[in-house]
């Protein structure tokens, strides 16, 4: 299927709680080896959504609650949710894909649940089959656009049913 014809979904997120709800919903459906690419400007809600997703995933695995700060300065935060690793990556401070190799992200892709903010910095390393969620300001809330490779068709269709 042509990427232009792949299912995508635009959602209205009227407030921060709706953004967190989307993160918690995704936490129930993403699996080890999945990659979620979070696009959007500063303050668009990328870290807020990632935090809700990570905390929900950890809670479901019976892990102790943990603060989930923005990885803006550490670049990578790794969390354990049972036997699963969750990599929360913020590439904002990187100048390009050449810097990504030093993070060890290539070893996590496909073996951990990876949540990557500012994926444009990945350049040619950007996973083609990742789920992309773009957030933008929209009135008092946000607008979210989801699109992904074939493995996410059912997830996007399921979310369409939830929003109907």
Over residues 112-163, the pLDDT tens digits come to 999 999 999 998 889 988 999 999 999 889 999 999 988 888 888 888 755 5
Asked if residues 148 and 130 have their Cβ atoms less than 8 Å apart, the reply is: yes
Give the pLDDT band of residue 95 (cuts 50, 70, 90).
confident
pLDDT of residue 73: 80
Q: How far apart, in whole angstroms, are the C-alpha atoms of residue 82 and residue 59?
A: 9
pLDDT above 90 as % of the chain? 62
Write down all domains in the chain, each with its CATH number in brackets.
10-163 (3.40.50.300)
Candidates 109, 105, 55; CA nearest to 79 is 55
pLDDT of residue 7: 57
Q: What are the distances in angstroms from CA 32 to CA 25, 29, 74, 83, 112? A: 16, 10, 23, 10, 5
> What does the pLDDT average to over 63-73?
86
For the chain, the average pLDDT equals: 89
- Bridge-based pairing of strands 141-148 and 8-13 is antiparallel
Candidates 139, 94, 98; CA nearest to 117 is 94
Select the more confidently predicted residue: 78 or 154. 78
Write phi, then psi, for 62 (nearest 5 degrees). Answer: 80, 15
Candidates 7, 78, 34, 48; CA nearest to 142 is 48
């Amino acid at each position: 299927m042509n990427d232009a014809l792949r299912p995508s979904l635009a959602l209205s997120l009227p407030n921060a709680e709706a953004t967190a709800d989307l993160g918690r919903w995704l936490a129930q459906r993403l699996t080890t080896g999945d990659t979620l690419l979070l696009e959007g400007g500063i303050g668009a809600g990328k870290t807020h959504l990632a935090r809700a997703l990570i905390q929900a995933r950890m809670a479901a695995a019976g892990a102790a609650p943990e603060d989930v700060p923005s990885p803006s300065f550490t670049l990578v935060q790794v969390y354990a949710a049972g036997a699963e690793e969750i990599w929360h990556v913020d590439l904002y401070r990187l100048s390009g894909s050449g810097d990504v190799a030093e993070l060890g992200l290539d070893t996590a892709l496909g073996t951990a649940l990876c949540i990557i903010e500012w994926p444009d910095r990945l350049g040619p390393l950007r996973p083609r089959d990742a789920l992309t969620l773009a957030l933008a300001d929209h009135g008092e809330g946000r607008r979210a656009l989801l699109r992904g490779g074939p493995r996410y068709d059912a997830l996007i269709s399921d979310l369409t049913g939830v929003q109907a």
